[in-house]
């Protein structure tokens, strides 16, 4: 059994490992969790004793096979709860993260498996992130940032990099939602801002926004 704090560390390391082929530094973990590097070092030593991480000074932290499966299960619970909150309780996608942060620590495997079945085994959460299966396997899709598209290229919006409530609320105001086709009409050389077409509407978006939207190229 793991404490809530230990589970949060495992989840954080799991996410960082998805974007890195090397060990994760304690500084990177500290930055993500907004804590001190010394606190991270103390925690990863505890997690190492529980055989969920391997920690080597100056080489960083890596998840063991057991650690990776444990972390993936936490992520699975979080994302399934997000789907439930949006689809069954009418939460908006910018409201669910904090609630799911609390629900992800529920220990009952039976509850989560039945929740998965109740939701008809969703593959992605409301933000477009893939949901690991009960064995910890994660199916990913090829995706690119909208900012990489050139003029007259298009793709389907499949996810967001920034899942903050502020950004999601901004997307709602602009009518940018998952599953919609986005076409680049113009790309400004000066600042890489884009003129796009979505749902038969033309919009101007900054490079910052384009760098936080994932698309699957058509």
Digit-coded pLDDT (tens) for 118-153: 999 999 999 999 999 999 998 888 899 999 999 999
Residue 107 has pLDDT above 90, yes or no: yes
Identify the pLDDT of residue 177: 93
Portions of the chain given CATH number 2.30.30.90: 144-217
Alpha-carbon gap, residue 172 to 17, rounded angstroms: 30
- How far, in Å, are 14, 107, 133 from residue 161 at the CA level? 16, 28, 22
Q: Give the model confidence (pLDDT) of 81-106 as tens digits.
A: 999 999 999 999 999 999 999 999 99
Residue 36 structure tokens: 């001190």
Q: How confident is the model at residue 22 (pLDDT cuts 50, 70, 90)?
A: confident
What's the fold here for domain 144-217?
SH3 type barrels. (2.30.30)
Nearest alpha-carbon partner for 10 in 72, 65, 58, 57: 72
Q: Give the model confidence (pLDDT) of 158-170 as tens digits.
A: 999 998 999 999 9
Nearest alpha-carbon partner for 134 in 74, 206, 83: 74
Identify the pLDDT of residue 65: 96
Residue 189 structure tokens: 């050389």
Element housing 124 (H / E): none
User: What integer is the mean pLDDT of 169-188?
Assistant: 95
User: What integer is the mean pLDDT of 14-36?
Assistant: 92
Identify the pLDDT of residue 139: 85
Q: 212 CB contacts (<8 Å, ≥6 apart)?
A: 145, 160, 161, 162, 167
Averaged confidence pLDDT in the chain: 95
Q: Are 34 and 51 within 8 A, CB to CB?
A: no
Residue 53 has pLDDT above 90, yes or no: yes
From start to end of 24-168, where are the E strands? 53-56, 60-63, 144-145, 154-160
Portions of the chain given CATH number 1.10.10.10: 4-63
Residue 218 has pLDDT above 80, yes or no: no
- Percent of the chain at pLDDT exceeding 90: 91
* Residue matched to tokens 């589970």: 7
Residue 20 has pLDDT above 90, yes or no: no
Residue 97 structure tokens: 């993260």
Identify the pLDDT of residue 70: 96
Identify the pLDDT of residue 19: 83
- CATH class name, domain 4-63: mainly alpha
DSSP bridge partners of 144: 215
Q: 49 CB contacts (<8 Å, ≥6 apart)?
A: none
Identify the pLDDT of residue 61: 96
């Amino acid at each position: 059994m793991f404490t809530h704090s230990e589970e949060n560390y495992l989840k954080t390391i799991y996410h960082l490992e998805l974007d890195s082929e090397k060990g994760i530094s304690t500084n990177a973990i500290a930055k993500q969790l907004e804590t001190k590097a010394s606190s991270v070092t103390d925690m990863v030593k505890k997690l190492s004793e529980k055989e969920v991480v391997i920690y080597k000074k100056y080489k960083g932290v890596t998840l063991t096979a057991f650690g990776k499966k444990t972390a993936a299960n936490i992520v699975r619970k979080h994302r399934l709860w997000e789907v439930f909150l949006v689809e069954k309780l009418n939460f908006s996608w910018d409201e669910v993260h904090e609630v799911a942060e609390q629900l992800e620590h529920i220990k009952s495997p039976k509850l989560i498996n039945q929740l998965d079945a109740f939701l008809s085994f969703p593959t992605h959460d409301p933000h477009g992130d893939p949901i690991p299966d009960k064995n910890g396997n994660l199916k990913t899709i090829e995706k690119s940032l909208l900012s990489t598209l050139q003029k007259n290229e298009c793709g389907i919006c499949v996810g967001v990099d920034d899942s903050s409530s502020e950004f999601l609320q901004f997307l709602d105001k602009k009518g940018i939602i998952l599953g919609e086709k986005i076409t680049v009409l113009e790309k400004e050389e000066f600042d890489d801002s884009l003129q796009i077409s979505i749902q038969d509407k033309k919009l101007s978006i900054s490079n910052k926004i384009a760098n936080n939207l994932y698309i699957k190229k058509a």
